[in-house]
Chains A and B, each alone.
Chain A
């Protein structure tokens, strides 16, 4: 039997049962489409975060407090706050870093007259804008003298400025953060959101003012620095400086003994990569399950088909079809079904991914549609493999039929 004959025979039997063929492959179609959609959304989200990380620059280093132990745990509310403004000053003095900024963050009530809002109040230094770039729309940003003099001034995000002042010019006006009155000296241009936080709802005040007058702590939540050096050696430099500041005896450079963590953007990228990898494994296992279920469906229908077409098989054997010719015909029918299912599933998956991306893009700034090519290719390949695996048993059943019995079958 020649190959074109095999294809013609298999495809014509499938087209004779169109609606059944379509229903049969539905499981495969949905499975493949769902996986492509989920992978696309997952990778787009990952891409979005990676882009935001990249926007901040790869030369950025963060220092956070830590109670020691594993460096990759979730941030804990009970971590002892160990970082001080003096630590940032020590880093500055070393001359190894272009910009250093210490920050303290707290959510609290902000009011102007009767108008009251909750806002994330961020205590910053004059270096903040070189760490997290933003444009000043009106007035000016916090300066060194503001930090040194515990100035009661604030720079508003665009939305919080609008919420509190409407169309009025906020510059020079006073607002209350908790009980402390501060004067607005500037408004930042629109920034959108980063890591799913709305930056336009934030209020920046000098870190010293925030510590002493607003939050009432002498620690900071984190210190950020930029370096022109090699990142890993800069991280080591920071560790040695801070160990000296904190009187930590750690000559063996064991980061678990430190009361702080030093991490760079590349560490964040690595973590995001790990999260993405776990997500991919998870989705792949769901895909595997759905494809097994789909494959069982194919096997089921192929078995029904073999039973229904017992006479046809008997006739084909009587006119000289060999075992392997019957096997190939039924195997090819199953493979054509699943391959078609894979192709349709990929098409639907790509279309819905694009649709989902265009919807998400209107809500989340910077969302881009990513359709993973490897998922598209492997979708079709895996579906075809499912056809071979689950088509083999029914095809063998067909090929093993005894022609006499098959012709007599009613």
Chain B
């Protein structure tokens, strides 16, 4: 597996913001690679730069220095439209605040990304129903999204993120707005998706949530501080459990 081209290959990525003429460096040089099929948790306290990192990985933001190869293609210098196309065709997002359109039905919410990809209208509903089925909410098809519970909303958001068959699923604090029961349901769902072959990157600051991933990358002050895989973590785990 390590011999094949990684899905994501970050090389010494730096990110600097300039606000009112004052430069703030958020990432000081981060490098790692993620293979297809991995379930990675990106951890770090707030202000660590993990969100910025996720935005760069998810084509929502650009890096200042370094390089980002996606399936071997250098994406660090893409223009806005090319980045939009990458978001549209390669990734699915799950947000902490769900970001469903409140007065639209569940099925309409799931069909939304297909509109921008250009899936024929006749196929959209069927695909959306399949995605909804895969998160176990077939019975909610025509409900309005604001009639659902938090856990259900997040599952709808996951269905929406999956509907275009992305190469990569981003989950930004997916359990942050949920009670523990719904939270563990959502994590279980992510794990099932991973098992069925999806590549998942989850940003979280909850260790419990991160436990569901097979690899944990920790960021602090814009630097990578640890990158531990499942078996290593289990062996030396004195903090966990």
Q: CB within 8 Å of B: which residues of A?
A: 1-2, 4-5, 9, 12, 16, 311-312, 314-323, 325, 403-404, 407
The winner among B85, B97, B101 for most chain A CB atoms within 10 A is: B101
B residues whose Cβ falls under 8 Å from a Cβ of A: 55, 58, 60-61, 80-81, 84-85, 87-89, 93, 95, 97, 99, 101, 103-104, 112-113, 115-118, 121, 160
A320, B87: Cα distance in complex, Å: 5
Chain A residues within 8 Å of B99, by CB = 311, 314-315, 318, 407
Also in contact, A1 and B116, with CB within 8 A (given A318-B60, A404-B55, A404-B60) = yes
CA A403 to CA B97, docked complex, whole Å: 14
CB nearest neighbor in A for B117: A320
Chain A residue contacts of B81, Cβ below 8 A: 322-323
Q: Is the CB of A320 within 8 A of B116?
A: yes
In the complex, the answer to whether A318 meets B93 with C-beta atoms within 8 Å is: yes
A318 neighbours in B (Cβ, 8 Å): 58, 60, 87, 93, 99
Residue of A nearest to B61 (CB): A404
Residues of A within 8 A of B113 (CB): 319-320
> Which residues of chain B are within 8 angstroms of A323 by Cβ–Cβ distance?
80-81, 84
B contacts with A: majority SS: helix
Chain A at the B interface: SS class: helix
| A320-B84, A320-B85, A403-B60 as given contacts; A315 in contact with B115, CB under 8 Å | no
Most buried by B among A4, A316, A325: A316
7 new A-B contacts, CB < 8 A, other than A319-B112, A320-B89, are: A314-B99, A318-B58, A318-B93, A319-B93, A319-B113, A321-B116, A323-B80
Q: Do A2 and B118 have beta carbons less than 8 Å apart?
A: yes
Question: Distance (Å) between the CB of B130 and the closest chain A CB?
Answer: 18
The 8 residue pairs across chains A and B that have the minimum distance between CB atoms? A320-B88, A319-B113, A320-B116, A315-B99, A5-B115, A322-B84, A320-B87, A16-B103
Chain A residue with the shortest CB-CB distance to B95: A407
Q: How far is the CA of A322 from the CA of B118 in the complex (A)?
A: 13
Among B55, B81, B104, B112: residue with most chain A CB under 10 A: B112
- The residue on A at minimum CB distance from B101 is A312
Interchain residue pairs with CB less than 8 A apart (8):
A2-B115, A2-B118, A312-B101, A319-B113, A321-B84, A321-B116, A322-B81, A403-B60
Residues of B within 8 A of A5 (CB): 115, 121
Task: Give the distance to chain A from B99, nearest Cβ to Cβ, in Å.
Answer: 5
Residue of B nearest to A4 (CB): B121
List, in ascending order, chain A residues with CB within 8 A of B103's CB: 16
Q: In the assembly, what is the distance between CA of A311 and CA of B99, in Å?
A: 7
Interfacial chain A residues near B80, Cβ < 8 Å: 323
How far, in angstroms, from A407 to B112 measured CA to CA in the complex? 16
Chain B residue numbers with a CB within 8 Å of A16 are 103
Q: Tell me, in angstroms, the Cα distance from A316 to B100 when the chains sit together.
A: 10
Residues of A within 8 A of B115 (CB): 1-2, 5, 9
A317-B84 in contact (CB<8A): yes
Chain B residue nearest in CB terms to A410: B97
**Cα-based distance from A392 to B130 in the complex (angstroms):** 38
Q: Which residues in A have their C-beta under 8 angstroms from that of B93?
A: 318-319
Q: How long is the Cα–Cα vector from A192 to B34 in the complex, in angstroms?
A: 96
